[in-house]
Amino acid sequence: MEQFRFEDLESLACELPEEILRYKMSGNLAEADAAIDRWLTQPVAEELKTRLRVEKKFLTILPEQFPFTAAEVVQSMQEKLPSFSEKDLERLDRTGYAEWIWIEGEKHYIHNIVRNIVNEDPETVKALGIPEEDIREKEILKDEIARMKEKGSARWKYRIRATIRLKEEEFVPGMRVKVHMPIPAKLFQVTRVEILDYDKAMKAIDPEDALRRTICFEDTLEENREFFVEYEYEICAVYHDLWGQAGKEEASAECKGEACTDCTESSVSMSCELPEEAAECLKEQYPHIRFSPYIKALAAEIVGEEKNPLEKARRIYDYVTKDVHYSFMREYMIIEDIPQYCARNLRGDCGVQALLFITLCRAAGVPARWQSGLYAHPMYCGSHDWALFYAEPYGWLFADLSFGGSAFRDGDEERRRFYFGNLDPFRMPANNAFQHPFTRPKTFWPLDPYDSQQGELESEVCGYLARQLERKPALLKAERIED
């Protein structure tokens, strides 16, 4: 199944027949595929048949996402930590830092397992030590947070050049390609955007307020080459004290919808938007933002008798940042229910944690929504996801669950609290909605149907996965705008 219809995603809420699940969970993927073919001939609802066809796609991707045997993991880890052994891997199996599945009778580990172990397992981190560049990155981050608290906001200007191309082994001369590359949307904290330069094959640029903003290219390639876009934007990050006395007084005051003079799109000014927009962010959105019995029970247990939306969101933030550990993930497209995966396994990356927060908030009656793009720090530029929630008198407020969780693991409660209600200014937001279609639709399965961070490429015959592409967002300039 290659042709993609966005509405097919909703079928992921359908449970597979037990026969297929048994084969899949035991690692007999060929038998699972054959069972799907048999079930497609049975008198079942079309929705289930759509789910079966989607599952055939997933079965082709699973082995690529879990390529390493236990022996290969141990060997790779010993290159970084010679004392690493099979017993260490068994310990990681039990503590949840080593994700694996069965494939043809043997355990196979996720493709980013070494990165998970080196960055997230406390014992391995202690043995290896924290890299100097990571320490310096956090120092810059903490200094900027302190400055925001002192001045009330932070304004930064960025210039980024993003590129994408097919790997040489995937290229075929004369192929027709379509490319989507994310660009900043002028919403919430973004106050100015300028597209400076782009590839000659540009077909369309989405409007500034697009919820999943991209620039689209279409071309016939006789030689393999990269597509690029270069842009400049400005961020205004406003600070809200939601924990101290000042925050308590502000929360009890009448909303006046005031914003700083330089930041007309700030989160404070969002408090005066029509209630209908917030109401839209209370709804389920299949297949992932859905109020399953477990999600409803978990949300009710977390918020208890609390009625205030801000306090409900705070309790959910505390739960995710303290009880879910960070883990690099398989492709989102092959996870049937992302928030429930996180809630059941207590692990997930930035987007998985953000989506659990959003779903729990909505289930508890707190409007919440998605935002994502890049973390554009002066020392690092890469993909990142976070969330927003709605609470009067503030309006839309930010929550960065993985950054808050990182601060918790570091024992930095002040920094953990900052990311409830606030974001640092080191961001490039391109997506202001989860699972939103491109303005110019794709023909084939997207690399990620839910998010857009570093670009997607498809030809006339297929779409391409991350491993088949070379993608790079390069930060050319990051400078503070002084008052």
Q: What is the pLDDT of residue 479?
A: 96
Q: CA 139, 143, 145, 148: dihedral to nearest 10 degrees?
A: -160
CATH class assigned to 150-234+434-480: mainly beta
Q: What is the mean pLDDT of the chain?
A: 92
Domain-by-domain residue ranges, the chain? Answer: 6-65, 70-128, 150-234+434-480, 267-431
Report residue 85 as tokens: 């052994």
Phi and psi at 159, nearest 5°, equal -130, 125
Write the pLDDT tens digit of every residue in 106-118. Answer: 999 999 999 999 9
Give me the residues paired with residue 469 across strands.
166
Tokens 């359908």 -> residue: 14
Mean pLDDT of 235-248: 82
Closest CA to 309 of 270, 356, 363: 363
DSSP states of 332-365? GGG-S-HHHHHHHHSEE-HHHHHHHHHHHHHHTT
- Model confidence at 268: pLDDT above 80: no
Q: What is the mean pLDDT of residues 248-275?
A: 42
Q: Which residues of 413-444 are buried (b: 16+ CB within 10 A; e: fewer)?
A: eebbbbbbbbbbbbbbbbbbbbbbebbeebeb
- Least Cα distance to 227 among 455, 437, 476 occurs for 455
User: pTM for the whole thing?
Assistant: 0.93
Give me the mean pLDDT over the 237-249 stretch: 78
pLDDT band at 138 (very low <50, low <70, confident <90, very high): very high
pLDDT digits (tens, 9 = 90+) for 380-410: 999 999 999 999 999 999 999 999 999 999 9
Instruction: Tell me the CATH architecture of domain 267-431.
Output: Roll (3.10)
Q: Quick check: 452 pLDDT over 50?
A: yes
- pLDDT at res. 248: 54
pLDDT for 247 beyond 70:
no
* % pLDDT > 70, the chain: 93
Residue 267 pLDDT > 90, yes or no? no
The answer to whether 407 touches 318, Cβ cutoff 8 Å, is no
**195-223, pLDDT tens digit by residue?**
999 999 999 999 999 999 999 999 999 99
Cis peptide before 287 (omega within 30 of 0): yes
Q: pLDDT band for 252, please (50, 70, 90 cuts).
A: low
By three-state DSSP, how is residue 89 classified?
Answer: helix
Of 377, 302, 467, give the one whose Cα is nearest residue 134.
377
